[in-house]
Amino acid sequence: MRGIEVFAGPIRAFEPERAPANQVRLFLSWLSDAVADGLRDPHAMTLSTVDEAGDPDARVRSATARAESLLVRQSQYLADTAERDNALEKALALVGREPSLVDSAWTLYTLAPVEVEFWQAAKSRVHTRLRYERTGTDGRWERYRLWS
């Protein structure tokens, strides 16, 4: 295994001091550069969660389809709760008339991360890691440099 090349392809230099305060902007910028550089599978990410008992789980997912959605809270702004309630009522009525619009086997989960780690690979295996942690209910995040 030691003979297999690690992280084949070009890897851009990463300067954590210049990383944006917003972890999603960092990810989207990094992803854009990785695609432009022709890196294999740059959209693969590890999603780790814990259940109510504190047991961890991790799985590799493709981030391409929903990466932009991490930047916004919703797809369009509504004037007030009455407008939201009206839109929801119409959507529920439509699905009630045509239940096949929603596959019964599908489940949608919305995650609210409290911690995000960015891991920049290095052929030397001295990887650069940044951890972003939510600091409270006001939406602010703190950024910390980790050492590997």
pLDDT in tens, 13-71: 888 899 998 888 898 888 888 888 888 778 787 888 888 999 999 888 776 555 545 44
Q: Is residue 15 part of a domain?
A: no
Task: Give the rounded percent of residues in the chain with a pLDDT score beyond 70.
Answer: 86
d(CA 75, CA 73): 7
Q: Is residue 90 part of a domain?
A: yes
Strand locations in 2-140 (E): 44-50, 56-62, 115-120, 128-134
* Residue 97, pLDDT score: 92
More confident residue, 68 or 84: 84
More confident residue, 60 or 93: 93
Q: Is residue 5 part of a domain?
A: no
Q: Is residue 8 part of a domain?
A: no
Q: Is residue 78 part of a domain?
A: no
Q: Which of 58-72, 98-112, 114-128 has the lowest mean pLDDT?
A: 58-72
| Tokens linked to 28 | 């989207």
Task: Give the rounded percent of residues in the chain with a pLDDT score beyond 90.
Answer: 14
Q: Is residue 13 part of a domain?
A: no
- Please answer whether residues 11 and 122 qualify as being in contact, where contact means their C-beta atoms are separated by less than 8 angstroms: yes
pLDDT of 72 higher than 70: no
* Residue 71, pLDDT score: 45
* Residue 73, pLDDT score: 44
Range of the domain at 53: 20-71+83-147
Q: Is residue 33 part of a domain?
A: yes
d(CA 66, CA 100): 23
Q: What is the dihedral of CA 32, 38, 39, 42, to 10 degrees?
A: 40
**How many domains are contained in the chain?**
1
More confident residue, 111 or 74: 111
Q: Is residue 2 part of a domain?
A: no
